[in-house]
Structure 1
Amino acid sequence: MIEIIVTEEGIPLIFNAEDWLKLREEHRIVGSLVGCLAQTPYQDHFKGLPLALLPEEATLLRENNVARLINHASLLKSPSSDVKAEYDKYCEKICDEQIECLMEERKRQITGNLDNIVAGKQRKLMGLKTKKKKGKSKGKCDEQISTPTETTVTIDRNKVLEEELSKVKPPPKSAICVQIFTAHPWLKSEELSDVKWNFPSSPTELLRYNVFRHFWQKGYFLTSGMKYGGDFLVYPGDPFQFHAYFVVICIDKNAPLRPVDLAALGRLGTAARKSIVLAYEGNNKEINYQTLKWSPIK
């Protein structure tokens, strides 16, 4: 079961990358990435883990027994000396592994380029000089090799290889980048505790959740519609591949809806090239939907 960590502010978060992928591919739960990328922490154009879920998404996953809403007591306090020691040990291990990989890659490059290295040493011992002269094409140079002073020079390839490999030095550990954790690797299971989840707790929240669940059960992907002034954006497929079809706005059936509001919503749908869907609760507690669309005046 997927573990959703709920913050003190009530925000459901996913820290595990495999859980994020599973939610998106198998359960059509998109959420919103809110973390920074480990290699580029000083930009905000591309986000990384953790994944923040809408309360509707967390409630849906909980009701379908896909996820468990929890918190960790240890996340609310400073790490102990044992955890710090374990972290330092892990960083040391990661640095050693990366240095070993870098050394192996450098040795592979030298071995693959051994013919050119040997040829260069032969030219040097034979007194050959490689000069550059401008060719016919602008900006290009052709190689011109002078006449050798000796007929042939024999070089021990194995000795050259040993000399070149001996020059390979490991990089300093300060230059090695250690991946920042997105999921705490040393949390103890006995510190887990279920969160008391109260969403939906009001008629407005209940309407939002019922609308979200309705479209989700129809096979759509949903995200927050805040950037269009709505509650949800509804996609026919993954938002990475499709544009949204609908901007869904949940309204109170007893709240007044002025003509100017309808005009504004109609203009929004035309400008965004999306259908505006008004969702409200009917007299029999069922959810009714009304689509707004501009119609030309004839």
Structure 2
Amino acid sequence: MAAPIHCFLIDNQYGLVFNPESIRLLRQQHRIIGLLTGNLPQYPRQNQQLGIPLQLSLQQCHFLSTHNIICMYQIVFPITDKQEDHLAYLTELDNKFQDQKITNGHERINEILLNRDYILQSNRHSSFGDSSELDPAISSLLETNNAWQNSSRSMDDHERHILLHIIKQRLQQFTIDHMLITQPLESIRSDHLVQSITADQLKRYLTSPLQQLQCDVFADLYAKNYWISDGMKFGGDYLVYLDDPSKCHSSFIVTCFLRNEVQTNSTAIPLTHLIARCRVAVNVKKISVLATRKSTNEIEYLTINWNGF
């Protein structure tokens, strides 16, 4: 049996899925698209391609929780820091610093040897102190650096003395203030509390009739084997695909509205709004669809076309 998909409720507004394997299962086995909201670790300064976590709307969370596809959790605040967690973080930070220090050391040594002739020419008349006593860490780097081992064989004592002084000076500049801090993908805290949320408890956050209608419309479209994503970028509630979004564009822009509001208020859907939805749908080559609930609780759909007059 596959491990349950864990989804964390954030601010009672949306859910986040952090596990890449869970996101793959949601896409391949359950036709759930969601919205990737995180930066790619390799390219953190761009927003063209996004990565984990996957954001799910409350309507999606309720549907998936009802069908036992995901398990919903909520972090209990406030979170107190434990001394053990703090010490573990400092230990991990120091280990990462030592790794980066070794990598940086080899890079600096290779850089100095690459500019060896210029450095020796510039410092041939300079006098330095005794460099025979090197830090054990620097000695270890020199012993494992192939470029230094090969180059030092052809150096005289004065050249070696100059280069060792420059290497020692450059490596001392790399301190913990210059290290790169890797953002963790998950918390290492041992004292945070997570409580489970049932589908019935989650439904309490869907308080308005429109939100409840959106839940029912999502479930109805899902039952018809459509692929569904958020439709905000086109001014609707949902974008509906006939196949996997990686294979085709969306075909419908679905907007939910309450029938009883139309009956009691003639301005519930202003004519200008209907025209705007139609024009947007035509420009992006999609069909605008209005979704509502009949008196029998059955979901009803109405398509709107723009004829150009």
Q: Report how far residue 270 of structure 1 moved.
A: 0.9
The SS at the match of 1:77 is coil
Match of 2:202 in 1: 197
> Per-residue CA shift, 1:14-40, capped at 9, x if unaligned?
233443333333333232333455566
> Per-residue CA shift, 1:201-230, capped at 9, x if unaligned?
443222211211222233333222122221
Instruction: Please point out which of 224, 231, 242 is paired with 2:248.
Output: 242
Structure 1 residue runs of 5 or longer lacking an equivalent are: 111-119, 121-155
Amino acid paired to 1:212:
F
Match of 2:27 in 1: 24
2:288 and 2:304 in contact (8 A); partners too = yes
Amino acid paired to 1:23:
L
2:226 and 2:242 in contact (8 A); partners too = yes
Amino acid paired to 1:242:
C
Number of matched pairs: 257
1:38 and 1:179 in contact (8 A); partners too = no
Amino acid paired to 1:5:
F
Q: Report how far residue 76 of structure 1 moved.
A: 2.9
Q: What's the TM-score once normalised by structure 1's chain length?
A: 0.67
Amino acid paired to 1:232:
Y
Whether 2:55 is the aligned partner of 1:52: answer yes
Q: How does 1:64-103 map to 2 (within 5 A)?
A: 64-73=67-76, 76-98=78-100
Whether 2:294 is the aligned partner of 1:288: answer no
Q: What's the TM-score once normalised by structure 2's chain length?
A: 0.65
Classify 1:290/1:70 alpha carbon distance in 2 versus 1 (closer, same or farther; 3 Å). Answer: same
Q: How does 1:72-221 map to 2 (within 5 A)?
A: 72-73=75-76, 76-98=78-100, 159=153, 173-187=176-190, 191-195=193-197, 196-199=201-204, 200-221=206-227
1:37 and 1:46 in contact (8 A); partners too = yes
Amino acid paired to 2:302:
Q
> Per-residue CA shift, 1:52-79, capped at 9, x if unaligned?
2101111122112122111233x53243
Greater shift after overlay, 207-216 or 22-31? 22-31
Classify 1:184/1:294 alpha carbon distance in 2 versus 1 (closer, same or farther; 3 Å). Answer: same
The SS at the match of 1:184 is coil
Instruction: Please point out which of 218, 230, 236 is paired with 1:224.
Output: 230
Structure 2 residue runs of 5 or longer lacking an equivalent are: 112-116, 118-149, 155-159, 263-268
Match of 2:14 in 1: 11
Amino acid paired to 1:179:
T
* Identity %, equivalent residues: 25
Q: Report how far residue 258 of structure 1 moved.
A: 5.2
Amino acid paired to 1:91:
L
**CA distance in 2: counterparts of 1:295 and 1:33, whole angstroms:** 36
Over the aligned positions, Cα root-mean-square deviation in angstroms equals 4.1
The SS at the match of 1:197 is helix
Q: Which has the higher helix share?
A: 2
Amino acid paired to 1:230:
G
Classify 1:101/1:222 alpha carbon distance in 2 versus 1 (closer, same or farther; 3 Å). Answer: farther
Classify 1:102/1:235 alpha carbon distance in 2 versus 1 (closer, same or farther; 3 Å). Answer: farther
Q: Report how far residue 288 of structure 1 moved.
A: 1.3
Match of 1:253 in 2: 259
